[in-house]
Amino acid sequence: MDFRLSEEHEALRESVRDFARDAVAPVIAEHYERHTFPYEIVRQMGKMGLFGLPFPEEHGGMGGDYFALCLALEELARVDSSVAITLEAAVSLGAMPIHRFGTDEQKARWLPKLLSGEALAGFGLTEPGTGSDAGGTQTRAVLDGDEWVINGSKAFITNSGTDITALVTVTAVTGTNPDGSKELSTIIVPAGTPGFTVAPGYSKVGWNASDTHELTFDDCRVPAGNLLGARGRGFAQFLRILDEGRIAIAALAVGLAQGCVDESVKYAKERQAFGQPIGNYQAIQFKIADMELKAHTARLAYYDAAARMLAGEPFKRQAAIAKLHASTVAVDNAREATQIHGGYGFMNEYPVARFWRDSKILEIGEGTSEVQRMIIARDLGM
């Protein structure tokens, strides 16, 4: 058993750490405050190859693995989660379904621009009326000649309304299975297709420099060839995508938790109270030690899930454990980091205020903490 990173993974981690410090940290607070999408950062991440990390070189990928993506997400989220979720959603939810399930033609058409970061794709699963219970999908797609006609809406879809969004993959009911359950399929809807409307961005508590919209499909017609994978495979497809995505979200949560440690250590050494730095007080030291403990154990949990996935072993339970634990830890550390910063922790100019606002969604997105517990319990035979 060896938890040390390979030379390639270590080099990647170092370069993303430098990038986050030099290119993200100086500008992200302003994007966050103004709720603007960081196009220039995305462009630079594209040049670094981050959008292509876990994909083969054939379609412009970097030939790396999913763990490499996780390391990059951790280092980005250590500085900012809006940028990290933009990358996570673009790769794990946007490009990955096309890579995993697409035809050669779909891959050739979409992957080169998605893997270079020149374009982004959204993953449209959640609906206004149903999130955790994805089987409750109401959006319908009916085959009319050689076109799918889509009607319905999707809620909270990341990267779906940027200037460089090329497509969204949409989960829709396409019929009824022999057992009477809904037949779910996934369809590619290119941006700008008539009948596909992107609502203005939500007013969110956190992730303010990321892009999230409600989408409406009103007699939206796309070619029959836009079906992603086989008809009726939609359920299996999004389960696979979400299982993997949970490891990525766990990595992002670990990054936020570690960023809270970084900021707290720095602040505790500087801030004076009662004649000495607050970091001299054991109460503060113990808080920071507990935060480090949590970030470290959550990191081990996602390393374990990623290692199982890359080895081709079952990893569903471990991915759910990693996501559940890391998101809890992120919320805990953000709360404690804010406490250590006192009143300044409540001021938006301090990174910990951003971490606090960005932490809560980690217990909700890509499967709530309750859903993770359901997955773990089911995997234990309950």
Residue ranges that bind ligand FAD, judged by CB under 6 A: 89, 93, 122-126, 131-132, 156-158, 204, 207, 212, 361, 364-368, 370-371
Q: Is 366 an annotated catalytic residue?
A: yes
CB of 342 to ligand FAD, least distance (A): 29
CB 154 within 8 A of CB 139: yes
User: Which C-beta is closer to ligand FAD: that of 132 or that of 176?
Assistant: 132
Secondary structure class of 125 (helix, strand, coil): coil
Tokens of 45: 């991440």
Distances in Å between the Cα of 232 and the Cα atoms of 172, 175, 184, 186, 228 are 10, 8, 5, 8, 10
Q: Minimal distance in Å, beta carbon 197 to ligand FAD?
A: 17
DSSP β-ladder status, 212-223 and 196-198: antiparallel
Minimum distance, C-beta of residue 63 to ligand FAD, in the bound complex (Å)? 26
The strand pair at 165-176 and 147-158 is best described as: unpaired
* Strands 227-228 vs 182-190: parallel, antiparallel or unpaired: antiparallel
> Which residue, 158 or 327, has its beta carbon nearer to ligand FAD?
158
Contact 188, 222 (CB under 8 A): yes
Contact by Cβ (8 Å): 356, 335: yes
Shortest CB 86 distance to ligand FAD, Å: 11
C-alpha 128/C-alpha 265 separation (Å) is 41
Question: Which of 64/97 has CB closer to ligand FAD?
Answer: 97
Residue nearest ligand FAD by beta-carbon distance? 131
Residue with tokens 């409750």: 136
Nearer to ligand FAD, 135 or 194 (CB): 135
Q: Which residues are catalytic?
A: 366
